[in-house]
C-alpha cells in the first residue's frame, strides 16, 4: 500500500527494520522466529493469551450468571480500538493529515493487520488490560461503594500501573517507535510521550469503565437483564462515548498548552490530571480494602482466574525488563549502544509495586472460608 506509505512512517519503519513499501496487506503472517528479537513473540503470546482468557471468562459470566458486564467491556474496548487506531495509522486517508502526522509505528509481529500498522497483540491488549483493571476494582467493591465515577477513576489508575510497565519497555526492545518531533507526542517522559502516559494509560480506560458501568454494570448489580439487541447497541455506544471521553478528558492540557504555546505547560497539566486520578484512586482503593477486610458480612465478588493471569503478566514483564537491564544500564543520554531509547526504570518499579499491591488487595479482600456472593439476577429487562 505504497500510496499510504508516508515519509514519516517510512522513516520509522526503516529504523525498526522493515519497509512499509512491502508490509503485507489487510492481514499478514510471519515466522515468529524471524522477528526483530525473541521478546516480540513472547509479548504476543502473553497478551493474546490474556485476551482469549478474558473473553472466555466474559462468555462464562454471561452464560452462567447472566452478567454481560464483561462482554460489554471486552467488545466495547474493541469498538474503541476500531474508532481510535485507524486514523492514527492513516491520517491522510481520514483527511486529517494537515493536523495529525504519524505519531508512531509498531514493529512487525507474527500477525499484522492494515499493511504492517496494527499487530494482533495490540488488538488483544485493549480488552485484556481493560478487563484486568476493571475486575480488580470490581473485586474490591469500589463501584458498589463509591459509584460509577470513582470506580472508573480507580480502573484508570490500576490500568495505568499495569500499562506503564509495558509502555516504558517497548521502545528499547523495538516493539514500536515514536515520532520524536511530533508536537502531539511532546513532552516526553524518558522514552514515552507524556500524553501517552496519561491519556492512553489512564484516561481512556477510565472513560471506557465509566461507560461500561453506566450502561451495563450498574443495571446488572440491580438484578436487571438485557436482550441481545439491548446489549449490542449499548456496547456500540460504549465504544463511541469512550472515544469521545478520550478527547474530552485531556482537553485541559490540550487547551492550556495551545493557549500558552508551550508543550511544557501542556505536560504540567497532563501530570496534574494524573495526580488527581492517583489521589482519588488511592484514597478509594485503600479505604475500600480496609472496609471490606473489617466487614465479614460484605458481599464479595471474586475472580481468581483473572488475578492469576494478572500475576503471570507481571512475572513476564519483570523477566523482559530483567533481560533488558544490561543494555539499559549501559545507555548514554537515554540511548543504548544499539540506538534504542530507554524508559524510566524507577517509574516502572513504582508501577510494578502498585500493580502487585492491587492484585494482593483483590486476592485478600475475599477470605478463603467465604463463598463469593454474586449479584442476584432477575428476568427484568432494561432498555
pLDDT at 367: 55
Matching residue, cell 517522559: 189
Cell numbers for 112, please give them. Answer: 499484522
pLDDT at 93: 81
Mean pLDDT, consecutive 10-residue segments, the chain of 383 residues?
A: 74 88 86 96 98 97 94 97 90 81 93 93 98 96 95 98 98 96 93 96 97 96 90 94 93 94 95 98 95 70 92 98 97 95 98 97 69 41 40
> What separation in angstroms does the CA of 219 have from each of 14, 245, 254?
50, 21, 34
pLDDT at 294: 82
Q: Are 43 and 122 in contact (CB under 8 A)?
A: no
Q: How far apart are CA 262 and CA 266, in angstroms?
A: 7
Provide the greatest CA pair distance for the chain: 63
What's the pLDDT tens digit per position in 48-57? 999 999 999 9
Q: Are 166 and 320 in contact (CB under 8 A)?
A: no
Count CB atoms within 10 A of the CB of residue 238: 27
- Expressed in angstroms, the distance from the first to the final Cα of the chain is 44
What's the pLDDT tens digit per position in 157-171? 999 999 999 999 999
pLDDT at 22: 77
Q: Sort strands 27-29 and 111-113 into parallel, antiparallel or unpaired.
A: antiparallel
pLDDT at 92: 81
Within 13 Å of residue 287, how many CA atoms lie on the same side as its CB?
13
Q: How far apart are CA 349 and CA 345, in angstroms?
A: 6
Count CB atoms within 10 A of the CB of residue 139: 24
Residue 72, judged by CB atoms within 10 A of its CB (0-12, 13-18, 19+), counts as buried
Sorted by where each begins, the domain ranges of the chain are 38-84+121-364
Rounded to 5°, the CA angle 122-125-126 comes to 100
Q: Are 285 and 357 in contact (CB under 8 A)?
A: no
Q: How far apart are CA 173 and CA 342, in angstroms?
A: 9
Amino acid at each position: 500500500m505504497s500510496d499510504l506509505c508516508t515519509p514519516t512512517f517510512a522513516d520509522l519503519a526503516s529504523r525498526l527494520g522493515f519497509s512499509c513499501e512491502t508490509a503485507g496487506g489487510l492481514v499478514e503472517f510471519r515466522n515468529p522466529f524471524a522477528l526483530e528479537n525473541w521478546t516480540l513473540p513472547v509479548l504476543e503470546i502473553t497478551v493474546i493469551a490474556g485476551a482469549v482468557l478474558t473473553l472466555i471468562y466474559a462468555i462464562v459470566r454471561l452464560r452462567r450468571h447472566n452478567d454481560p458486564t464483561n462482554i460489554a467491556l471486552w467488545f466495547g474496548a474493541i469498538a474503541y480500538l476500531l474508532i481510535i487506531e485507524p486514523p492514527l495509522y492513516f491520517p491522510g486517508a481520514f483527511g486529517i493529515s494537515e493536523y495529525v502526522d504519524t505519531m508512531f509505528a509498531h514493529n512487525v509481529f507474527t500477525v499484522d493487520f492494515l499493511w504492517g500498522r496494527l499487530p494482533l497483540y495490540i488488538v488483544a491488549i485493549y480488552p485484556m488490560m481493560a478487563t484486568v483493571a476493571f475486575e480488580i476494582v470490581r473485586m474490591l467493591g469500589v463501584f458498589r461503594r463509591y459509584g460509577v465515577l470513582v470506580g472508573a477513576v480507580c480502573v484508570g489508575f490500576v490500568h495505568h500501573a499495569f500499562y506503564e510497565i509495558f509502555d516504558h519497555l517497548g521502545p528499547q526492545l523495538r516493539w514500536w517507535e515514536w515520532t520524536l518531533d511530533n508536537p502531539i507526542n511532546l513532552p516526553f517522559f524518558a522514552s514515552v510521550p507524556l500524553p501517552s502516559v496519561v491519556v492512553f494509560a489512564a484516561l481512556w480506560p477510565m472513560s471506557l469503565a465509566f461507560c461500561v458501568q453506566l450502561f451495563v454494570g450498574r443495571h446488572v448489580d440491580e438484578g436487571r437483564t438485557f436482550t441481545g439487541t439491548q446489549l449490542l447497541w449499548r456496547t456500540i455506544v460504549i465504544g463511541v462515548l469512550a472515544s469521545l471521553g478520550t478527547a474530552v478528558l485531556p482537553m485541559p492540557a490540550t487547551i492550556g498548552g495551545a493557549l500558552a504555546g508551550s508543550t511544557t505547560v501542556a505536560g504540567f497539566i497532563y501530570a496534574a490530571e494524573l495526580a488527581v486520578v492517583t489521589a482519588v484512586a488511592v484514597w478509594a482503593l485503600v479505604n475500600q480494602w480496609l472496609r471490606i477486610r473489617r466487614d465479614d458480612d460484605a458481599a464479595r465478588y471474586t475472580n481468581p482466574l483473572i488475578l492469576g493471569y494478572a500475576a503471570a503478566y507481571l512475572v513476564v514483564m519483570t523477566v523482559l525488563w530483567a533481560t533488558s537491564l544490561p543494555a539499559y544500564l549501559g545507555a548514554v543520554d537515554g540511548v543504548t549502544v544499539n540506538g534504542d531509547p530507554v524508559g524510566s526504570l524507577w517509574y516502572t518499579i513504582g508501577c510494578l509495586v502498585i500493580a502487585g499491591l492491587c492484585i494482593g488487595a483483590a486476592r485478600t479482600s475475599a477470605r478463603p472460608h467465604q463463598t463469593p456472593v454474586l449479584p442476584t439476577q432477575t428476568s427484568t429487562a432494561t432498555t
